[in-house]
Structure 1
């Protein structure tokens, strides 16, 4: 491997040469703030499931067009499979990733099969301004990559590439043009008249699903397909509206190309199911015991395997799960077997009969069928059970959640190995990469297990460094040694030299000391031990009452929080984005159940709702001036669980006029990580059919939250009397903001990083001093340098009565 550049400040000219599967070399900027650099160091591969399919698809003689090649992860991977026969045109307009791509072509000796086309594609030729994102993956002609720098680039069309491509057919086309895809297709009428490639296209630009692109491919006579990891093949998309929120790419092909792929076992057209002949199904128990992980489990399973009658139903479910993954069977039958296994597990879990080993197998089936959100929910919802797994829990046969674990021979205790496989699986699937979420709590759980994989160490080191934490890589660390699961040790040697070792604050004698208790401080951050990660806030219904009026404003002011907000009114969304500036993101989305809905516009923007105002109640309290229905509009709502880039949320605020419970019910995966929720609740139905406080309270208690307090209960005065005309006394409660916090009885399961953020929110945002002290007490039991709780109590006592 070519050694990385010497240490120093990262610049576009300073690169790391990383090794991917297949001994593919790729040159990237030596800066972990760049998404490609981070992800390839973290996973030693690209994070998209479709990469595995492309490796199966590629073969000598293939001709590929890569539109939006970036660093060339896909192009270079295919080039390795060509063995010198075939051709790839990698279209990339930006100079920096393009130059690195050209360098990678040379590193691999791919000059005879790969060419960098330095242009952007659209529906016309000329020049254009490319906005450069913070990472090159976000570069965009549409000016929404999040960056301020620009670059003038050549603009070409697909049709203008035809003389370069020649008459031989293009077999595969990757299309990832950051929102420009429809224009690319419009500029390729002649191209698609001559060529019939399999097209892999980006389904989402940012968080927005490109429905028009799906329609455009259908207009070209193509069927749209989805890749299923467990099938290792493409299947037709029956309803794009129901696709899992983690799906990033789809495929499109005309019938003749689809038929060719079906003959190669790469695509199922959805028309036939050919089941195995009698006696062709291998015995499921022999299959399990024949796997490397299964051999050490034989003793634990022995008694259970003898009682075949008691095991019958579970045995058939396991057999179906194994049939689903068996490449010897027909694709149609395999898909049917997987779906039947999923249905059987659904029934078990709905009846409350799901065991901890079933959690592993069920999560595997869901993930393999493309239901990644479901797998996250099943595994994440069982985290407490997994942490307490005992040998007696493992007597029921199972499949590990990750098929890669089938070849892992358990080391140490079986329960520790099982727990590690489940935790690692959840860490890998809950987010596309730890680049997108600052929380390291789950990684910290994995790192306590002896049988952890080296990838978890890579993830923790990279995420911690990206969050500003000091990292020290020990000389004997696995990160500095090349191994089967760790190819890029030389680059880690370079990283280790650039990262300063962490150091506790010390006295003159060199002894660590706990933080002192200041008499006053602006933020609890001044008291909390380092490192302190940024609080992630999601604000649903972010329409602003003015600068600094949001409850989380104290954190934003001190750069302790980053906000993602949703405000469907475009003008109000633009205003709140301008108030917060760079580093925060506000999107004009309706948040709800996901799918079509009706928006009831009122004369005051802040009282518009997906529910119709209840005129009788509005008039009873003289609120018509505030909640006067103006007109209705058909709209499309987004479910929180369908937004894959939210990351791990610490503080969730909802204020959407009666629609809060719909948003919460369709955000269960998101809620599993939330620490604090501020949700507007109504005590009487101001909107027709809206859920009330009791409904929301019941739901949130079921999700592990407890009501902490109400913030400012709004009184109602029956018309014609108004507030000044009524003596002070008891009045009708109309609405309030309810503050929910994770059940204090279960806070000990949170990692220190999250306990610090919870304490920070409670103190800085809500002045919930008592509960904050409780959290700090728990934190002190987990920190190597306790003292935060005693220092905070000293501050409380010093400020008593203030």
Structure 2
């Protein structure tokens, strides 16, 4: 029997009661999902936590609050998420996102695991952009997916600023457009093309539901990702896009295109030399290699164009200069030296 008279005993007693209550809630939530979906969505909404402003999160990894910290509320939300995945249930939810925006997610995929269950997605990258973006700026989101970066940037740059959201996948683009419309963001231009090193067309492999954010022109590199189809999509260069949209300034560019990052940079050399935007780029060696590139080539090109490379520190979550022979973070920042 637990001695609740001591502080340690009281903590153990309280933890035991909390986890027992959590188990009962999980059983109820799973029953509702299977037998009363309308009530289940209402229950799921009650579990949504409040959205904090962007801030650094040292050591963040995918689903950290759920898989590592095992936070009590995250575990309750996770019970619903896992059942939706296991039974292939369609459970749409609208969750709060940065800047007072709202995003629709479907339980049972990567996005809802981060946004609904864990409550965070690439927090260090968003904290960096929160410091960088100001009203009146222009932000290009290449590989916008469902719009997490685009929505946030649109609120940061304001009505006098501009966001260009580039998303070639028709499935993700439909969700992106719904999210833009839901948040009444008139400063977002959605581009239904891919960007690359030269104009033309390419076949985009569409990932299955669980890993819907990993559509690629190469081969899938993330564990468990597989194709459910493909689309032939138009490709233009970043330079051509900026000229076509008459962008008189570009202040920041995010590039997350599952291994085609070097191609995008090569197609934007003129813009990078003249507009000198800050860059936030995914740096996945294996994804790049499967499209005949590599991080070393990408870093060399950025330095040739006069950029300094910053990485996200695992210790602080903030950006710091890339040390000689240092390790790259999953995403890197490149800032113009001049």
By the TM > 0.5 criterion, same fold? yes
Does residue 198 of structure 2 align to residue 124 of structure 1?
A: yes
Match of 1:108 in 2: 183
2:14 maps to which residue?
none
Counterpart for residue 259 of structure 2: 179
Deviation at 1:231, TM superposition (A): 6.1
CA distance, structure 2, for counterparts of residue 239 and residue 83 of structure 1: 38
CA distance in 2: counterparts of 1:195 and 1:222, whole angstroms: 12
Q: Does 1:75 align with 2:150?
A: yes
Q: How many residues align?
A: 244
Secondary structure at 1:40 match in 2: helix
Match of 1:25 in 2: 102
**Equivalent residue for 2:322?**
237
CA shift digits 1:590-645 (9 cap, x unpaired): xxxxxxxxxxxxxxxxxxxxxxxxxxxxxxxxxxxxxxxxxxxxxxxxxxxxxxxx
Secondary structure in structure 2 of the residue aligned to 1:173: strand
- The answer to whether the 8 Å contact 1:127/1:155 transfers is yes
Q: What TM-score comes out, normalization by structure 1 length?
A: 0.29
* Residue 82 of structure 1, CA deviation: 2.4
CA contact (8 A) 2:124 2:317 kept: no
Deviations 1:476-510 (A, max 9, x none): xxxxxxxxxxxxxxxxxxxxxxxxxxxxxxxxxxx
Contact 1:178/1:205, CA 8 A, preserved across alignment = no
Counterparts in 2 of 1:229 and 1:121: CA distance versus 1, 3 Å: same
Q: Does 1:216 align with 2:301?
A: yes
Cα deviation for residue 31 of structure 1 reads 3.3
The SS at the match of 1:49 is helix
Q: Quick one: higher RCO (CA 8 Å, sep 6+), 1 or 2? A: 2
User: What aligned pairs does 1:371-450 form with structure 2 within 5 A after superposition?
Assistant: none
- Specify the alignment match of 1:203 in structure 2: 283
- Taking the aligned partners of 1:195 and 1:136, their CA distance within structure 2 comes to 32
| Alpha-carbon distance in structure 1 between the residues aligned to 2:204 and 2:335 | 30
CA gap 1:206/1:242 in 2 versus in 1, 3 angstroms: closer
Q: CA deviation at 1:136?
A: 2.2
Q: How many angstroms does 1:118 deviate by? A: 0.8
Structure with max Cα Rg: 1
Any idea what the Cα deviations from partners look like across 1:65-88, whole Å, max 9, x if unmatched? Answer: 111111111111111222322000
Q: CA deviation at 1:240?
A: 4.7
Instruction: Encode CA deviations 1:280-321: one digit per residue, 9 max, x unaligned.
Output: xxxxxxxxxxxxxxxxxxxxxxxxxxxxxxxxxxxxxxxxxx
Q: 2:213 maps to which residue?
A: 137
RMSD between aligned residues: 2.5
Which residue pairs with 1:38 in the alignment?
113
CA distance in 2, matches of 1:165, 1:172: 16
| SS, match of residue 242 in structure 1 | coil
SS in 2 for 1:142: coil
Q: Please name the residue that 1:478 is paired with.
A: none
* SS in structure 2 of the partner of residue 200 of structure 1: strand
* Equivalent-residue separation in structure 2 for 1:76 and 1:167 (angstroms): 19
Alpha carbons 1:39, 1:47 under 8 Å: kept: no
The change in CA–CA distance for 1:92 and 1:49 in structure 2 (over 3 A counts) is: same
For residue 43 of structure 1, report the CA deviation from its aligned partner: 2.7
Q: CA deviation at 1:165?
A: 3.7
Q: Where does residue 156 of structure 1 map in the other structure?
A: 236
Listed as ranges, the gaps of 5+ residues in structure 1 are 257-802
Q: How does 1:263-662 map to 2 (within 5 A)?
A: none
1:126 to partner: Cα distance = 2.2
Contact 2:124 2:318 in 1 (8 A): no
Q: Does 1:253 pair with 2:338?
A: no
* Distance in 2 of aligned mates of 1:82 and 1:232: 24
The 3-state SS of whatever aligns with 1:225 is strand
Partners of 2:258 and 2:136 lie apart in 1 by 29
- Per-residue Cα deviation, 1:348-372 (whole angstroms, up to 9, x for no partner): xxxxxxxxxxxxxxxxxxxxxxxxx
Against the structure 1 CA distance between its residues 203 and 126, is the aligned structure 2 distance closer, same or farther, given a 3 Å change threshold? same
How far apart are 1:206 and its partner, in Å? 5.0
Distance 1:116 1:219, change over 3 A: same
Residue 311 of structure 2 aligns to a residue in which SS?
strand
Alpha-carbon distance, 1:148 to partner: 4.1
Counterparts of 2:122 and 2:261 in 1: how far apart (Å)? 21
